[in-house]
Amino acid sequence: MDNQHQYLFIDFEFTMPEGKSNPQGFYPEIIEVGLVAVKNQKIMDQYSSYVKPIKFTTLTERCKSFLHISQEQVNDGISFQHLVNKLSEYEKTSSSTIITWGNMDMKVLRHNCQKAGVLFPFKGKQRDLSMEYKRFFGDQNQTGLWKAVQEYGKEGTGKHHCALDDALTTFNIFKLVENDKRYLAKPEPTTIGDRVDFSKVLNKFAL
């Protein structure tokens, strides 16, 4: 992790259709944002808010039940334009890398921007930490955010599917993965007697 570089850990929650058959013209819209701005592995800022959807303004029962978000919370949220303006402010202060768990967050943000006729707020590099996790550990399938942190013997921060808590959990996994990468890339010099034990460590991480 570059100590002077800004990392933005972002999680969005989206609207959901009631059943498997989507209503005509339906597309997921951002209804909650959680963002953690980090420099030098220290949290510099946090931001969270509910967001009003533009196209399908009434949340489905499935969406409210799954995300534990009420219609009133969304009605009192910020506008999508306000969200985009807020996100763009972070890159005005520093060049940034945007890190999410999975690729849906940036896909939905980009699509929502196109539908609303506003510019996509980020110019910095975007990283899908779930794919990095998958490649690093050699998993066949992508691992869910909270399952991944539990595989490290940790627990997620706060409540799953709360956008800010998920963004904080993504940051925590990022630190764990980056530390493992450094450990395997630059092992401490070992004596001949130690090498057998170190090979066991490597085999453990290769599982």
The model's pTM: 0.82
Is 161 annotated in the active site?
yes
Which of 5, 13, 91, 188 is catalytic? The answer is 13
Strand intervals (E) in the chain: 6-14, 30-39, 42-50, 96-100, 125-128
48, pLDDT greater than 90 = yes
Q: What is the percentage of the chain residues whose pLDDT exceeds 70?
A: 79
Query: What was the pLDDT predicted at 1?
Result: 58
> CA–CA separation, 30 vs 47, rounded Å?
15
What is the topology classification, in CATH, of domain 6-206?
Nucleotidyltransferase; domain 5 (3.30.420)
> CA–CA separation, 171 vs 169, rounded Å?
5
Mean pLDDT within 185-198: 50
Choose among 29, 31, 4, 10: nearest CA to 164. 10
188, pLDDT greater than 90 = no
Is 111 annotated in the active site?
no
Q: What is the pLDDT of residues 117-159, one digit of tens each?
A: 999 999 989 999 999 888 877 666 667 786 777 777 766 666 7
Q: What is the pLDDT of residues 69-103, one digit of tens each?
A: 999 999 999 999 999 999 999 988 778 999 999 99
Residues 6+ apart with CB under 8 A from 140: none
The overall average pLDDT reported for the chain is 84
Which of 5, 161, 178, 188 is catalytic? The answer is 161
User: Predicted confidence band at 193 (pLDDT cuts at 50, 70, 90)?
Assistant: very low
> CA–CA separation, 67 vs 160, rounded Å?
9
Strand intervals (E) in 115-163: 125-128
Q: What is the pLDDT of residues 2-45, one digit of tens each?
A: 567 999 999 999 999 988 777 788 999 999 999 999 998 899 99
User: Predicted confidence band at 194 (pLDDT cuts at 50, 70, 90)?
Assistant: very low
> CA–CA separation, 18 vs 50, rounded Å?
20
Mean pLDDT within 104-109: 97
Show me where the domains of the chain are located.
6-206
How far is the CA of 81 from the CAs of 36, 85, 114, in angstroms?
A: 20, 6, 12
